[in-house]
Amino acid sequence: MQRTATFLWHLVPTATLAIALALVSPGVLRAQDAGTTSETIAGVTPPRRIVISLTERRLHLLEEGRPPRSFPVAIGRPGVAIPLGDSRVLRKRRNPIWHPTANQRRENPALPVAVPPGPSNPLGKFALDLGWTAIAIHGTNEPDSVGRRASGGCFRMLPADIAVLFEMVPVGTPVRVVSGSAVLPSPQPAVAVAAATSSPPIPAPPPKVAPPLPILPDPRCATAGAPLRRMICTVPDLAALDGRARGLHQRHLAALPAERRDAAAYALLQEERRFDDRITARCWVRRGMEEDPAVAAAAEACLRDALSVRLEEAKRR
């Protein structure tokens, strides 16, 4: 049976939202995908496994004897069915080609027959096809969607994260999707090794404790007039997310050489303006309506997602 792939391209008014869906059947690769990576499942249990938590919107890579690694993911948007339970990686594709379906091309004749690898490809540079019909773990050309409910059922990762995962997991790696928080293995206790001499053991140095994330308040809060900015300033958890991102940005600037600091500060200012534009478009609240409980709850959830993604980006800077 021929292995086929179906991908769905969805356009929204403010930006092109690519929703990539990979349909996998246990056969040979299509001729178009002959250059992609394909490995045979040899019946040996892989040393790694993947757990995806829908509640956390995170993918956890587990490996025996090593601490878990965790990455943010985009999950299915509201109203989209998301698979739960166990599957595995059936195929790995490097620089995948996106092929619109016949229905998509009938609905939008402007769609190309195929999108080659490149910045316009909704799958990014890497794709891991799973055993569920039309579900894959892949990159994206819309990194702002990662950490949100934005996909058509697949699991999107940031370009740098999917590159790491692609190299670490082989075909056959088990994948489990859970609706709640992921249950991760406890750290293995250190094993004491007896000294070869009668000298007293050297005490282990105390564990290093990571310094708390600095929180830098927004200086605009005293005069904020826009409903969304006032909400960020006055809701404690939103203010903390925003303040931690600002603190990390400030710490990043302080670590730069003096000759690079001005340019980096200007780039961060431009980034903050783009962020404000994004939340204005996505989390819009009509002035005077923020007192409505339903409106406020929806806006706060939207802002919490956007600020969480911004904080993760600041940590990786």
E runs forming strands in 83-140: 85-94, 126-130, 136-138
Tell how far CA 142 is from the center of its chain. 10
138 catalytic? Reply is yes
Q: At what angle do helices 227-234 and 258-282 cross, to 10 degrees?
A: 110
221 catalytic? Reply is no
Out of 60, 99, 138, 249, the active site residue is: 138
Q: Which residues contact 111 (CB under 8 A, 6 or more apart)?
A: 9, 100, 104, 105
Strand partners, 128: 92, 137
Out of 60, 99, 154, 302, the active site residue is: 154
Q: Which residues contact 74 (CB under 8 A, 6 or more apart)?
A: 57, 140, 145, 146, 147, 148, 149, 150, 151, 155, 156, 157
Q: Which residues are catalytic?
A: 138, 154
